[in-house]
Amino acid sequence: MNEENITRMEAADELHEECGVFGMYDFDGGDVASTIYYGLFALQHRGQESCGIAVSETNGPKGKVTSYKGMGLVNEVFAQENLETLRGDIGVGHVRYSTAGASTRENAQPLVLNYVKGTLALAHNGNLINATELRKDLEYTGAIFQTTIDSEVIAYHIARERLKSKTVEEAVGRACRKIKGAYSLVVMSPRKLIGARDPYGFKPLCIGKRDNAYILASETCALDTIGAEYVRDVLPGETVTITPENGIVSDLSRALPKEQEARCIFEYIYFARPDSHMDGVSVYASRIKAGRFLAMDSPVDADLVVGVPESGNAAALGYSLQSGIPYGTAFVKNSYVGRTFIKPKQSSRESSVRVKLNVLKEAVDGKRIIMIDDSIVRGTTSDRIVKMLRDAGATEVHVRISSPPFLWPCYFGTDIPEREQLIAYNRTIEDIRDIIGADSLGYLGIERLGEMVDGLPICKGCFNGEYPMKPPTEDIRGDYER
């Protein structure tokens, strides 16, 4: 395999952070674009391919929406001059990693739709499993699509339902009954900010308040960044409508019995920032628990516990606290490497792993190391990190993973590939240990996942093949080899 193919596989051997959504309505009429910018900046870890902001003035010409979006990071796409053109007291923002639909500017969000009842701007996090059939139905009745993303299918259905609904929130609710899969939505109409979450609660969405403004965001860390107070989470299956006249109005008619809910466990293991809380559970605390469970269930005698940055660090601390083995730093991460960095060419000797991480030789030389990581997808990165520790003088490398082995693909917004590409498929743990070159290997037990999130109902489909809803017959997840 040539160097270019290796680096492409290295990049693919990590989970990607789906998308982040953010919405704001300032009842006092202040401009919201700069605050949305900082909210998206806090959610940058959830998507690094593209971003956008759309705003409107509720007291201005009805239905006029100003938007700006582009490819790249938030601070690359937005500058002071284009933020200043975004005048409005209500708006939505989005950061994207493509789980379905190509990585192009046309597919950047928010989507702005002009239709007979006015305008809509929509930001979506998640993945629909019936998007293909819904799209075909719309196309056969004359719809012309500008993008290849399932978010546009949602926007079209909201617009169509609006024609036979008394209110836009009723239209959002009716559209949500047609779509199946994972979604958290933030919708801006000319006078309302609406949030909606799928009945299973796959994707997070919370409500915040700052002075006389309300905020919807994927994670509470975005509320902290802009100085807003956390109000509550949008509940699975809930639609919330925010207006100056009525504040927050809730509709729970789509809710399922609590035992049927199925939050994505990888929000807690990997996706979310550790300083976020989701559905009442601290992400940091859940990772500490995962590390403690690993120490209880997969103990090993060693000199130092280290985490693979960033999501492995808290689990490594948990392992250290439980085992009594010292916690240390073994890796220096290049903070300026995002998803967009140029991969080394075939003629180059640089490894994309080494571009992102380097080992502190003084920390590991002559020591037995326990290395904690959040997951192993294909294994093409893990073996290189283990080798880097050995090259730096580690006498033993024991790998512990703060999730169970991946055995099935995900159809709900996490880019876990088909089974044949998963290192755990048709292999024993000893086989995997041998492939990555570790002295020992241990995974978090699947029975520990519920304890990790204080008993919240979760989706375990990528570990046991038992999905909360029937998966699609065709693979609609897009191309992850980029």
- Give the integer Cα–Cα distance in Å for 41 and 425: 37
pLDDT tens for each residue of 242-295: 999 999 999 999 999 999 999 999 999 999 999 999 999 999 999 999 999 999
- Give the integer Cα–Cα distance in Å for 192 and 31: 15
How are beta strands 368-373 and 396-401 bridged, if at all? parallel
Beta strands in 382-424 (DSSP E): 396-401
- Give, to the nearest 10 degrees, the angle between helix 311-323 and helix 283-297: 50
pLDDT tens for each residue of 315-329: 999 999 999 999 999
382 touches 12 (CB < 8 A): no
Gyration radius (Cα) of the chain, Å: 23
Peptide bond into 471 cis (omega under 30): no
Residues 6 or more apart whose CB falls under 8 angstroms from that of 396 comprise 302, 368, 369, 439
In this structure, what token pair is assigned to residue 473?
């017959």
Q: Which of 19, 51, 176, 410 is catalytic?
A: 19
Least confident of 16-20, 184-188, 198-202, 404-408: 16-20
The pLDDT of residue 3 is 39
Place of tokens 């979506």: 124
Tell me whether residue 445 is exposed, middle or buried, using C-beta atoms within 10 angstroms of its C-beta: 0 to 12, 13 to 18, 19 or more: middle
In this structure, what token pair is assigned to residue 427?
């292999």
The pLDDT of residue 6 is 37
φ and ψ at 294, to 5 degrees? -60, -40
From the list 128, 414, 378, 371, the residue with the least C-alpha distance to 270 is 414
pLDDT at 99 over 60: no
The pLDDT of residue 9 is 40
- Give the integer Cα–Cα distance in Å for 9 and 98: 17
Place of tokens 């019995």: 257
The pLDDT of residue 339 is 44
Average of pLDDT values for 373-379?
Answer: 91
Domains of the chain are: 19-259 (3.60.20.10), 276-464 (3.40.50.2020)
464 touches 450 (CB < 8 A): no
Helix (H) or strand (E) holding 21: strand 19-26
Average of pLDDT values for 179-194?
Answer: 96
Active site annotation includes 51 = no
How are beta strands 90-96 and 247-251 bridged, if at all? unpaired
pLDDT tens for each residue of 411-459: 887 777 788 889 999 999 999 999 999 999 999 999 999 999 999 999 9
- Give the integer Cα–Cα distance in Å for 92 and 90: 7
Q: What is the mean pLDDT of the chain?
A: 89
- pLDDT category at 61 given cuts 50, 70, 90 is confident
How are beta strands 304-307 and 239-243 bridged, if at all? unpaired
Q: In what order do the strands lie in the sheet with 368-373?
A: 304-307, 368-373, 396-401, 440-443
